[in-house]
Amino acid sequence: MNVMRTNRSHERTRGAIIVEAAVVLPLILALFAGFVDFAWVLNDLQSVRQETREVARDAVVGNSGATGCSHNAGTVNATTEGLICEVKSRLGSDVVVRLELPDTGGYVEGNAVRVCVQKPYESLTGVYATMINDGAATVKVESRIEQVAAVAFESFSEPPLTGQSWGFCA
């Protein structure tokens, strides 16, 4: 009789372990997915910040940026086109760009250049997509012009992402 009691006790313990695993495992997986998505969003934000700084630096030292692409935003000069193409080649075609010369006097040494970028967040795991995919990395960099390009760039703005605005760029 002792053998039967031991077997029943072992079966109960094994059943309890399976039930506990069924409750805890989804929570652990959801937590892990949250860590992965959060890290992915932080990486996107850092990339957008770095690349926006690089493009702003090119604008203030007179580099015209990338060539040979078309952003389909109308007619802008080659320098403006190059800066827009540089942002999109570094960050992807889903980003939107705003280039501004906020100071009166335009593109001359000492005046400001403002580069604003919006890049939509994407959930890597899909678990938190409903919370993450509505957001966007928004970055504004403002610098003083050190050296003018052969062709001055013009202020330019693409429409903001859906649900976003350019309010942060003022």
> pLDDT band for position 39 (50/70/90)?
very high
Of 118, 135, 113, nearest to 48 (Cα)? 118
Say what percent of the chain tops pLDDT 70.
Answer: 87
| Domain ranges, residue 10 | 2-169
- Tens digit of each residue's pLDDT (9 = 90 or more) over 58-103: 888 887 766 666 665 567 887 888 888 888 888 988 999 999 988 8
Mean pLDDT of the chain, nearest integer: 85
Average pLDDT over every residue of 3-10: 58
pLDDT at 104: 80
Which of the given ranges, 5-14, 101-110, 127-136, has the highest pLDDT on average?
Answer: 127-136
pLDDT at 165: 94
Average pLDDT over every residue of 34-61: 92
Average pLDDT over every residue of 29-47: 93
Looking at the 3D structure of the chain, how many domains does it have? Answer: 1
Q: CA Rg, the chain, in Å?
A: 26
For the ranges 2-11, 32-41, 113-122, the lowest mean pLDDT is seen at 2-11
Cα of 48 vs its chain's centroid, Å: 5
pLDDT at 2: 54
Q: Could you tell me if 59 and 82 are in contact, meaning their C-beta atoms sit under 8 angstroms apart?
A: no
Average pLDDT over every residue of 98-110: 86
Of 119, 121, 120, 70, nearest to 98 (Cα)? 119
Q: Structure pTM? A: 0.80
Query: What does the alpha-carbon distance between residue 11 and residue 4 come to, in Å, rounded to a whole number?
Result: 11
